[in-house]
Every structure is written in C-alpha cells, then in structure tokens.
Amino acid sequence: MKIIAIDVGNSETTIGVGNSQGWQGYRFTTRKTVTSDELLMMFKTIIDNPLIKEGLIEGAIICSVVPEITNSVSEATSRFISKDVLTVGPGVKTGLKVNIDNPKELGPDRIANSIGGYSKASSEVIVVDLGTATTFDIVNTKKEYLGGSIAPGIKISLDALTSKTSSLKSVELETPKNVIGKNTYEAIQSGLILGHTSMIDSMIEKIILESGLKPKIFITGGLGKVIQPLLNIKSKYEEDLTLDGLEEIYKLNN
C-alpha cells in the first residue's frame, strides 16, 4: 500500500509519498494564508513521483496543527491524486486510548507520533519531537496515552533570545565543540543545543521515575538529528515517525 501522508506543522509542512518501508519526502514552509489552488500548483511543481504519475497511490492522510489551512491542504491533496483524503480528528479511529483530562486537546501530530512510536516499540514508549515546540508523549503497554510535556523549541528559544536582546545575534544550530563557550557565538550555541539536550535527558529521567515505565525512547523532528547523538539516555532517531504513525491510522480506517 502506497499513500501520501502530510504533517502540517506550525513552521514546516512535511509530505511523504510511499509507506513506512520508504518515504520520498518533501518539505516547505507553512503559510497560514495559502489557498488550495496555490498548494495544488506547488504539489504539481515539487512532487515528482512515479507512484503518483502511474496512479498507484491508494489515498492520503493529513494531520494538521494549523486549522486555518487544514481544509485547503485536504482539498489540494484530493485534487492532486483524485482520491479521498482522511484528516486526523474527531471521528477518526486511531487505536490509541487517550487518558488525559480533555482528549480533544491532544494535537493530531502528537497522536501520530504516539502511534508511530508504539508501532515500532510494540510496548511502552516515550516520543520526543523537536519541532517548533519540543514535545514529550508517553504511551504504556496497553496503548494508552498517559500524557506528556511541551517545552519551547530550540528555534523559538533562539528567536526569543535574539529579538529580546540588543547585542546577541543569531547562530547556526550546530553542536558546539565545548560546553564552555569562548565567545558569545559559542556560548549561545552551548546554551541552546547542549542546554536543550540536558533538559531532554532530565525530563525523560523524571518521566520514567514518575510513571514507573521502562520505555523505548524515540527522537524525531527537524532538530532531532542534531540532538539525539548528544543524549545520555539510550534512544533512537526516527526521521519519519510522524508519517509512520499517519500510515498506521490510515490503515486502521481503511
């Protein structure tokens, strides 16, 4: 089965064509004012995939945290592949029991992450997604979502740091050579990258202590590739975890 899976994030939109055995990925900046016509033109321009040309795509699924353009993305996708599009939301089966105060508050991207992580772990799991925000999602062996945490993402932290100060400038989000920076540039890199890494290590330790779980830990999201090798706690980087979770939801509903 080959599908299109789309993750509409606050900063970036990720499109995967294929399945969990192999995604051909495309990324573009999310714009809240984009129309379905503009998106359709963009899809036709950037998505060059033989599966689509040969009509081998079964359908599509979307998770979106930007409600202003969810319908536009769905409409453009449907017109692009001439197939129905499933949007993760109320009424869509996920197989995940959400044990929080208000299950409707849980973002569709975090649902997809949780399902993607659980399907890979086949047991209790913590998924850390480093996107616009850094999120922690916890699922137990019974496939029950227990809750999570949300922290400002690295890019948000950098933007806040540089916009609220007069003398601090932006830096490349790369791993610094030392914790102790010898200049302002290195000091900012250390605080952002290594500080965020320490936060994730500590948060995971606290989650495990509080929950009593012995979970597998997956790291995903744009900056996950930078952060994961720096973590002290055993974990694995999964670039396409959200897309994999969307595929699982698609299969459950079809």
Specify the DSSP element, H or E, that contains 85: strand 85-87
With CA atoms as reference, report the closest residue to 52 among 8, 13, 15, 9: 15
φ/ψ (deg, to 5) at 202: -65, -40
Residue type, position 97, single letter: K
Least Cα distance to 134 among 69, 206, 227 occurs for 227
What's the distance, Cα to Cα, between the start and end of the chain in Å? 11
Determine the residue type at 66: V
Which pair of tokens denotes residue 243? Answer: 């897309």
Residue closest to 237 by CA, chosen among 246, 225, 222, 247: 225
- Separation between Cα atoms, residue 159 and residue 161, nearest integer Å: 5
> Does 109 qualify as catalytic in the annotation?
yes
Catalytic pick among 7, 109, 129, 137: 109
Per DSSP, the residues of 159-177 read: HHHHHS-SS---------S
- Beta strands 125-130; 133-139: pairing state: antiparallel
- Token pair, residue 226, equals 């930078």
Give catalytic residues, as residue numbers: 109
